[in-house]
């Protein structure tokens, strides 16, 4: 069965590396085409994920479902993805750089 955005989102809280999240207080909006809209909240060294949208995220990541899955599974280089607009980021780019190190997916 192929990996889906829902699978990845449901795994995020369990893959969260709390010891690397000292001082992180952030809301990340994911807009993933057919994969849906998701909100990841990182606060007090805890991570929660839910389907939906939020009005004032610290960071918004927009991508097609397949490109996001490829990014997370290492098939798509983050810098290449951004340069070729397969992944678009809006907001706190420092948070975007930190984000990948907060999870062991």
* pLDDT (0 to 100) of residue 37: 98
Residue 81 has pLDDT above 90, yes or no: yes
Q: Locate the DSSP E strands across the chain.
A: 26-31, 37-43, 46-51, 59-63, 87-91
Tens digits of residue pLDDT in 8-55: 999 999 999 999 999 999 999 999 999 999 999 999 999 999 999 999
The CATH architecture of the domain made up of 5-98 is 2-Layer Sandwich (3.30)
H or E segment and range at residue 67: helix 65-72
What pLDDT score was predicted for residue 1? 73
pTM (predicted TM-score):
0.93
pLDDT score, position 100: 81
Query: Domain coordinates of the chain in residue numbers?
Result: 5-98
Percent of the chain with pLDDT over 70: 99
């Amino acid at each position: 069965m192929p990996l889906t955005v829902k699978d990845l989102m449901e795994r995020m809280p369990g893959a969260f590396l709390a010891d690397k999240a000292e001082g992180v207080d952030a809301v990340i909006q994911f807009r993933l085409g057919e994969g849906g809209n998701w909100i990841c909240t990182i606060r007090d060294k805890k991570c929660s994920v839910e389907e939906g949208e939020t009005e004032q995220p610290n960071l918004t990541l927009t991508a097609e479902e397949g490109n996001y899955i490829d990014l997370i599974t290492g098939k798509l280089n983050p810098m290449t993805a951004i340069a070729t607009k397969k992944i678009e980021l809006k907001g706190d780019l420092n948070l975007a750089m930190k984000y990948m190190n907060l999870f062991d997916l």
